[in-house]
Amino acid sequence: MSNNYLLAKYNEKNSILSSIYINKEYLVRDEILHLLTQEYSLVLATSKEDILAVKKIRKEILLSKYQNFATIKDEELFLFNKDDEQSFIYLLRHNVTQTFVGTIRVFFVNASTPIQELPMQKDGHVESIESFTKNLPICEVSRLALSNTLPEYKDLSALRLRTYLTMGLMSTIGINIFLYKYTNVFSIMEPSLHRILTRQGVNFRSIGEVVDYYGMRMPYAIEREKLIGESENILGQLTLFYLKKLCQNSDKFWQFIENNPYLEYSDIQLDRICQLFEEHGDDVDIPLLLRDQKVDLTA
Protein backbone atom coordinates (compact mmCIF):
# COMPACT_ATOMS: atom_id res chain seq x y z
CA MET A 1 0.00 0.00 0.00
CA SER A 2 1.60 3.26 -1.12
CA ASN A 3 2.36 6.20 1.15
CA ASN A 4 0.38 8.50 -1.16
CA TYR A 5 -2.70 6.32 -0.72
CA LEU A 6 -2.33 6.30 3.06
CA LEU A 7 -1.88 10.06 3.16
CA ALA A 8 -4.97 10.57 0.97
CA LYS A 9 -7.08 8.35 3.23
CA TYR A 10 -5.72 10.08 6.34
CA ASN A 11 -6.60 13.52 4.95
CA GLU A 12 -10.02 12.28 3.85
CA LYS A 13 -10.75 11.07 7.39
CA ASN A 14 -9.48 14.36 8.81
CA SER A 15 -11.83 16.31 6.52
CA ILE A 16 -14.84 14.19 7.44
CA LEU A 17 -14.14 14.45 11.16
CA SER A 18 -13.65 18.21 10.91
CA SER A 19 -17.17 18.60 9.55
CA ILE A 20 -18.59 16.67 12.50
CA TYR A 21 -17.34 19.31 14.96
CA ILE A 22 -18.99 22.27 13.23
CA ASN A 23 -21.91 23.95 15.04
CA LYS A 24 -21.63 21.82 18.20
CA GLU A 25 -22.28 23.21 21.67
CA TYR A 26 -19.17 24.02 23.69
CA LEU A 27 -18.64 24.44 27.41
CA VAL A 28 -16.88 27.57 28.58
CA ARG A 29 -13.43 27.18 30.11
CA ASP A 30 -14.53 27.06 33.76
CA GLU A 31 -17.15 24.44 32.93
CA ILE A 32 -14.55 22.28 31.20
CA LEU A 33 -12.22 22.59 34.17
CA HIS A 34 -15.07 21.63 36.49
CA LEU A 35 -15.85 18.60 34.33
CA LEU A 36 -12.24 17.42 34.27
CA THR A 37 -11.37 18.08 37.91
CA GLN A 38 -14.62 17.65 39.88
CA GLU A 39 -16.87 15.37 37.84
CA TYR A 40 -13.87 13.33 36.69
CA SER A 41 -10.37 12.88 38.10
CA LEU A 42 -7.03 11.67 36.79
CA VAL A 43 -5.36 8.98 38.90
CA LEU A 44 -1.86 7.55 38.49
CA ALA A 45 -2.11 3.75 38.35
CA THR A 46 0.03 2.50 41.24
CA SER A 47 -1.74 -0.51 42.78
CA LYS A 48 -2.64 -3.99 41.53
CA GLU A 49 -6.29 -2.92 41.52
CA ASP A 50 -5.42 0.07 39.33
CA ILE A 51 -3.61 -2.15 36.82
CA LEU A 52 -6.61 -4.49 36.69
CA ALA A 53 -8.77 -1.46 35.89
CA VAL A 54 -6.34 -0.47 33.11
CA LYS A 55 -6.56 -3.97 31.64
CA LYS A 56 -10.35 -3.96 31.84
CA ILE A 57 -10.65 -0.69 29.91
CA ARG A 58 -8.08 -1.76 27.33
CA LYS A 59 -9.93 -5.03 26.82
CA GLU A 60 -13.26 -3.27 26.37
CA ILE A 61 -11.98 -0.59 23.99
CA LEU A 62 -8.58 -1.30 22.47
CA LEU A 63 -8.72 -5.07 22.08
CA SER A 64 -12.01 -5.05 20.22
CA LYS A 65 -10.98 -2.04 18.13
CA TYR A 66 -7.54 -3.31 17.16
CA GLN A 67 -8.84 -6.77 16.28
CA ASN A 68 -10.63 -5.12 13.36
CA PHE A 69 -7.20 -4.47 11.84
CA ALA A 70 -5.05 -7.41 12.94
CA THR A 71 -5.17 -10.65 14.89
CA ILE A 72 -4.12 -10.27 18.53
CA LYS A 73 -2.29 -13.51 19.25
CA ASP A 74 -1.62 -13.02 22.96
CA GLU A 75 -4.48 -11.16 24.63
CA GLU A 76 -2.85 -10.94 28.06
CA LEU A 77 0.36 -9.54 26.59
CA PHE A 78 -1.63 -7.02 24.60
CA LEU A 79 -3.42 -5.80 27.72
CA PHE A 80 -0.23 -5.32 29.75
CA ASN A 81 3.37 -5.82 28.66
CA LYS A 82 6.98 -4.74 29.15
CA ASP A 83 6.24 -1.31 27.74
CA ASP A 84 3.83 -0.70 30.60
CA GLU A 85 6.54 -1.41 33.15
CA GLN A 86 8.43 1.50 31.59
CA SER A 87 5.53 3.94 31.78
CA PHE A 88 3.41 6.28 33.81
CA ILE A 89 -0.14 4.96 33.35
CA TYR A 90 -3.12 7.12 34.24
CA LEU A 91 -6.78 6.31 34.82
CA LEU A 92 -9.76 8.61 34.38
CA ARG A 93 -12.30 8.18 37.18
CA HIS A 94 -15.95 9.21 37.18
CA ASN A 95 -16.21 10.58 40.70
CA VAL A 96 -19.92 10.07 41.42
CA THR A 97 -19.85 6.36 40.57
CA GLN A 98 -16.17 5.88 41.50
CA THR A 99 -15.68 3.91 38.31
CA PHE A 100 -12.74 4.13 35.92
CA VAL A 101 -13.78 5.04 32.40
CA GLY A 102 -10.50 5.84 30.62
CA THR A 103 -6.76 5.30 30.59
CA ILE A 104 -3.62 6.60 28.88
CA ARG A 105 0.07 5.69 28.98
CA VAL A 106 3.20 7.86 29.02
CA PHE A 107 5.99 5.51 27.95
CA PHE A 108 9.48 6.84 28.71
CA VAL A 109 13.00 6.13 27.53
CA ASN A 110 16.08 7.15 29.48
CA ALA A 111 19.67 5.94 29.68
CA SER A 112 18.81 3.03 32.00
CA THR A 113 15.59 1.68 30.46
CA PRO A 114 15.84 -1.79 28.85
CA ILE A 115 13.68 -0.70 25.89
CA GLN A 116 15.42 2.04 23.94
CA GLU A 117 12.95 2.40 21.07
CA LEU A 118 9.57 4.08 21.22
CA PRO A 119 6.48 1.91 20.62
CA MET A 120 5.87 3.85 17.39
CA GLN A 121 9.28 2.66 16.16
CA LYS A 122 9.31 -0.98 17.22
CA ASP A 123 5.60 -1.72 16.82
CA GLY A 124 4.29 0.99 14.51
CA HIS A 125 7.27 0.73 12.14
CA VAL A 126 7.81 4.49 12.05
CA GLU A 127 11.22 4.92 10.48
CA SER A 128 13.96 7.54 10.16
CA ILE A 129 13.16 9.51 13.32
CA GLU A 130 16.45 8.84 15.12
CA SER A 131 17.42 12.50 14.91
CA PHE A 132 14.40 13.31 17.10
CA THR A 133 14.87 10.48 19.60
CA LYS A 134 18.61 10.63 20.32
CA ASN A 135 18.47 13.15 23.17
CA LEU A 136 17.15 11.33 26.23
CA PRO A 137 14.92 11.19 28.18
CA ILE A 138 11.95 11.12 25.82
CA CYS A 139 8.40 9.83 26.06
CA GLU A 140 5.54 8.65 23.88
CA VAL A 141 1.88 9.11 24.76
CA SER A 142 -0.14 6.09 23.71
CA ARG A 143 -2.82 3.52 24.59
CA LEU A 144 -5.52 6.15 25.05
CA ALA A 145 -8.82 4.38 25.70
CA LEU A 146 -12.19 5.80 26.73
CA SER A 147 -15.24 3.75 27.65
CA ASN A 148 -18.18 3.55 25.26
CA THR A 149 -20.65 3.69 28.15
CA LEU A 150 -20.12 7.10 29.71
CA PRO A 151 -22.72 8.67 32.02
CA GLU A 152 -24.62 11.53 30.40
CA TYR A 153 -23.48 15.02 31.35
CA LYS A 154 -25.80 18.02 31.10
CA ASP A 155 -26.81 18.68 27.50
CA LEU A 156 -23.55 17.58 25.95
CA SER A 157 -23.68 15.16 23.06
CA ALA A 158 -21.81 11.90 23.58
CA LEU A 159 -19.28 13.02 20.98
CA ARG A 160 -18.61 16.35 22.70
CA LEU A 161 -18.26 14.71 26.11
CA ARG A 162 -15.74 12.26 24.68
CA THR A 163 -13.80 15.16 23.18
CA TYR A 164 -13.49 16.88 26.55
CA LEU A 165 -12.57 13.68 28.37
CA THR A 166 -9.94 12.93 25.74
CA MET A 167 -8.54 16.40 26.38
CA GLY A 168 -8.41 15.53 30.08
CA LEU A 169 -6.49 12.33 29.43
CA MET A 170 -4.05 14.15 27.16
CA SER A 171 -3.33 16.69 29.91
CA THR A 172 -1.12 13.98 31.41
CA ILE A 173 1.46 15.18 28.88
CA GLY A 174 1.74 18.48 30.73
CA ILE A 175 1.78 16.85 34.13
CA ASN A 176 4.60 14.50 33.19
CA ILE A 177 6.73 17.01 31.35
CA PHE A 178 6.89 19.19 34.48
CA LEU A 179 7.64 16.21 36.70
CA TYR A 180 10.36 14.74 34.48
CA LYS A 181 12.76 16.47 32.11
CA TYR A 182 11.83 14.93 28.77
CA THR A 183 13.44 16.58 25.76
CA ASN A 184 10.65 15.59 23.35
CA VAL A 185 7.15 14.11 23.52
CA PHE A 186 5.97 11.76 20.79
CA SER A 187 2.63 10.33 19.75
CA ILE A 188 1.23 8.43 16.79
CA MET A 189 -2.25 9.88 16.33
CA GLU A 190 -5.45 9.66 14.42
CA PRO A 191 -6.65 12.96 12.88
CA SER A 192 -9.29 13.66 15.56
CA LEU A 193 -6.80 13.53 18.44
CA HIS A 194 -4.32 15.81 16.69
CA ARG A 195 -7.11 18.30 16.06
CA ILE A 196 -8.19 18.33 19.72
CA LEU A 197 -4.65 19.24 20.78
CA THR A 198 -4.22 21.84 18.05
CA ARG A 199 -7.41 23.59 19.15
CA GLN A 200 -5.87 23.90 22.60
CA GLY A 201 -2.78 25.55 21.13
CA VAL A 202 -0.58 22.45 21.50
CA ASN A 203 0.99 22.05 18.08
CA PHE A 204 2.60 18.68 17.57
CA ARG A 205 4.47 18.54 14.26
CA SER A 206 4.54 15.66 11.84
CA ILE A 207 7.84 13.78 11.83
CA GLY A 208 7.06 11.06 9.31
CA GLU A 209 4.66 9.59 6.82
CA VAL A 210 1.25 8.12 7.52
CA VAL A 211 1.46 4.50 8.67
CA ASP A 212 -1.18 1.81 8.68
CA TYR A 213 -0.94 0.83 12.35
CA TYR A 214 -4.30 -0.37 13.64
CA GLY A 215 -5.78 2.26 11.34
CA MET A 216 -4.25 5.26 9.62
CA ARG A 217 -2.06 7.28 11.94
CA MET A 218 0.57 9.98 11.68
CA PRO A 219 3.70 10.17 13.86
CA TYR A 220 4.10 13.49 15.68
CA ALA A 221 6.51 15.11 18.11
CA ILE A 222 6.78 18.31 20.12
CA GLU A 223 9.81 19.76 21.90
CA ARG A 224 9.73 20.25 25.64
CA GLU A 225 10.07 24.03 25.54
CA LYS A 226 7.42 24.37 22.84
CA LEU A 227 4.93 22.20 24.72
CA ILE A 228 5.42 24.15 27.95
CA GLY A 229 5.18 27.46 26.14
CA GLU A 230 1.91 26.47 24.45
CA SER A 231 0.18 24.95 27.48
CA GLU A 232 -1.30 28.01 29.17
CA ASN A 233 -4.90 27.33 28.09
CA ILE A 234 -7.13 24.57 29.44
CA LEU A 235 -4.40 21.94 29.29
CA GLY A 236 -2.15 24.25 31.29
CA GLN A 237 -4.84 24.85 33.91
CA LEU A 238 -5.41 21.11 34.23
CA THR A 239 -1.68 20.58 34.61
CA LEU A 240 -1.50 23.12 37.45
CA PHE A 241 -4.55 21.63 39.19
CA TYR A 242 -3.16 18.10 39.18
CA LEU A 243 0.36 19.16 40.15
CA LYS A 244 -1.06 21.03 43.14
CA LYS A 245 -3.24 18.04 44.02
CA LEU A 246 -0.20 15.79 43.79
CA CYS A 247 1.67 18.07 46.19
CA GLN A 248 -1.16 17.70 48.70
CA ASN A 249 -1.02 13.91 48.61
CA SER A 250 2.21 12.58 47.13
CA ASP A 251 2.85 9.37 49.08
CA LYS A 252 1.61 6.96 46.38
CA PHE A 253 3.48 8.89 43.72
CA TRP A 254 6.79 8.68 45.55
CA GLN A 255 6.16 4.99 46.24
CA PHE A 256 5.68 4.51 42.51
CA ILE A 257 9.00 6.27 41.81
CA GLU A 258 10.78 4.19 44.43
CA ASN A 259 9.40 0.92 43.04
CA ASN A 260 10.25 1.73 39.43
CA PRO A 261 13.81 0.54 38.66
CA TYR A 262 14.21 3.03 35.79
CA LEU A 263 13.39 6.25 37.66
CA GLU A 264 15.57 8.17 40.11
CA TYR A 265 14.21 10.35 42.89
CA SER A 266 16.67 13.08 41.98
CA ASP A 267 15.29 13.31 38.44
CA ILE A 268 11.75 14.09 39.61
CA GLN A 269 10.96 17.78 40.15
CA LEU A 270 7.90 17.46 42.36
CA ASP A 271 9.56 18.78 45.52
CA ARG A 272 10.61 21.97 43.75
CA ILE A 273 7.16 22.47 42.25
CA CYS A 274 5.51 21.91 45.63
CA GLN A 275 7.77 24.56 47.13
CA LEU A 276 6.38 27.06 44.63
CA PHE A 277 2.83 26.20 45.62
CA GLU A 278 3.76 26.67 49.28
CA GLU A 279 5.25 30.08 48.55
CA HIS A 280 2.71 31.42 46.02
CA GLY A 281 -0.48 29.39 46.51
CA ASP A 282 -3.05 29.94 43.77
CA ASP A 283 -0.80 32.53 42.11
CA VAL A 284 1.32 29.73 40.64
CA ASP A 285 0.92 29.65 36.87
CA ILE A 286 2.84 28.27 33.90
CA PRO A 287 4.94 31.46 33.44
CA LEU A 288 5.92 31.38 37.13
CA LEU A 289 7.10 27.78 36.79
CA LEU A 290 9.11 28.84 33.78
CA ARG A 291 10.63 31.91 35.46
CA ASP A 292 11.58 30.35 38.73
CA GLN A 293 15.24 29.39 38.60
CA LYS A 294 14.79 26.67 41.20
CA VAL A 295 12.68 24.66 38.77
CA ASP A 296 14.99 23.64 35.93
CA LEU A 297 12.65 23.15 33.01
CA THR A 298 15.35 23.06 30.37
CA ALA A 299 16.87 19.80 29.26
**Residue 43 pLDDT exceeds 90:** yes
**Residue 5 pLDDT exceeds 60:** no
pLDDT of residue 242: 97
Per-residue pLDDT tens for 97-114? 999 999 999 999 999 999
Q: What is the pTM of this model?
A: 0.88
Nearest residue to 52 (alpha-carbon basis) of 89, 1, 82, 7: 89
pLDDT of residue 295: 45
The answer for residues whose C-beta is within 8 angstroms of residue 256's C-beta and 6 or more apart is 44, 46
Per-residue pLDDT tens for 106-137? 999 999 999 999 999 999 989 999 999 999 99
pLDDT of residue 229: 78
- What 3-state class would DSSP assign to 179? helix
**Residue 299 pLDDT exceeds 50:** no
Please state, rounded to an integer, the average pLDDT across all residues of the chain. 87
Per-residue pLDDT tens for 158-191? 999 999 999 999 999 999 999 998 999 999 998 8
pLDDT of residue 4: 52
Per-residue pLDDT tens for 204-220? 999 999 988 888 899 99
The answer for residues whose C-beta is within 8 angstroms of residue 25's C-beta and 6 or more apart is 155, 156, 157, 160
Per-residue pLDDT tens for 238-259? 999 999 999 999 999 999 999 9
* In the chain, % of residues over pLDDT 70: 88
- Asked if 165 and 150 count as a contact pair (C-beta separation under 8 A), the reply is yes
